[in-house]
Amino acid sequence: MQKSPRIPDLVHRERFVKRVVAGEGAYIVSGENGWASVPFRLDPTRDVVLVWASRSEAERWADVVAVSPQVFAAPLPVLLSDVLPMLATRRCLVGPDWSSDPSDPVMEPADLLERVWRERTEQFLLKISSANEVWVLESAAGPAILPSQRDIGHEFVPIWAEREAAEFHIAGSWSVKRPIAVSLAVFRDRYLPYLEQRGSFVGLDPMPGAGARELTASEFSMRVFPVATLAQLRAV
């Protein structure tokens, strides 16, 4: 059983998470024996797979941790949908920004997965709040929708913080969709009631293969319009 993390460990982990989100991925060293790892000091039956937030740091340690090493990039969608779930299945731990210090912190893959999603969500909400708008893909048939992973049988409407991010998804069945900027006030007054009525979600900046963090209309309102939402609650 792992002990409660020390304050320096918490800082190390949070810094790692922020760097992974900012860099949109992480880096892993692979050698003749597979992914570079070390035994967990508190439980030798568990391996700690070493992961870095920057390629330069991974390259710096590559010859130390592996024979015939190669540095592989794990883009954020791959990290979230493939790498971390696989490590969890194998009961491995993650060594974030490993540096050979015996006291280097470790993370459970599921914990890292949630922390990355949380940080990415916070950064996205800051962006749209600062810009006071979101981007959606629309056509005469309505907004783009995707099947929900949070509640099977329901849907979510994806939104983005930048026009370019929305345009990246115009293909296939969405080839007739066009990016539209929607002010937060209009999104609150027109889109959120529609989504709530349908039992649909708001999908924040979806990633191919990894999906999106899905929020209900009320959850989105509480995060983006906390003062207005509180006033509404008080008026009930």
**Cα–Cα dist 172/192, whole Å:** 26
Would you place residue 232 in the very low, low, confident or very high pLDDT band (cuts 50, 70, 90)?
Answer: very low
Q: pLDDT tens digit string along 126-174?
A: 999 999 999 999 999 999 999 999 999 999 999 999 999 999 999 999 9
Q: What is the reported pTM?
A: 0.89
Q: Kindly state whether residue 120 falls inside one of the protein's structural domains.
A: no
Q: How many domains does the chain have?
A: 2
**Cα–Cα dist 153/44, whole Å:** 43
Q: pLDDT tens digit string along 50-101?
A: 999 999 999 999 999 999 999 999 999 999 999 999 999 999 999 999 998 8
Q: Which of 20-34, 35-49, 199-213, 215-229 has the lowest mean pLDDT?
A: 215-229
**Cα–Cα dist 229/56, whole Å:** 45
133: β partners: 183
Mean pLDDT of the chain: 92
Which parts of the chain fold into alpha helices (H)? Answer: 7-23, 55-65, 76-78, 84-89, 109-131, 163-167, 184-186, 192-198, 217-224, 226-235
**For residue 236, what pLDDT is reported?**
43
**Cα–Cα dist 111/94, whole Å:** 10
Q: Same domain, yes or no, for 101 and 136? A: no
On the question of pLDDT at 227 being above 70, the answer is no
Q: Same domain, yes or no, for 107 and 163? A: no
Helix (H, G, I), strand (E, B) or coil at 74: strand
Domain boundary among 56, 82, 115: 115
HSE, CB side, 13 Å, CA atoms: give it for residue 46: 20
Report residue 39: phi and psi, to 5°. -70, 145
**Cα–Cα dist 28/190, whole Å:** 44
What range does the domain containing 224 cover?
132-235
Q: Kindly state whether residue 12 falls inside one of the protein's structural domains.
A: yes
Q: Are 76 and 21 within 8 A, CB to CB?
A: yes
Q: Kindly state whether residue 137 falls inside one of the protein's structural domains.
A: yes
Q: Same domain, yes or no, for 154 and 77? A: no
Q: Same domain, yes or no, for 140 and 111? A: no
204: β partners: 159, 213
Q: Same domain, yes or no, for 100 and 174? A: no
Which CATH number is 158's domain given?
3.40.1350.90
Would you place residue 229 in the very low, low, confident or very high pLDDT band (cuts 50, 70, 90)?
Answer: very low
On the question of pLDDT at 215 being above 50, the answer is yes
**For residue 29, what pLDDT is reported?**
98
Q: pLDDT tens digit string along 87-108?
A: 999 999 999 999 988 778 999 9
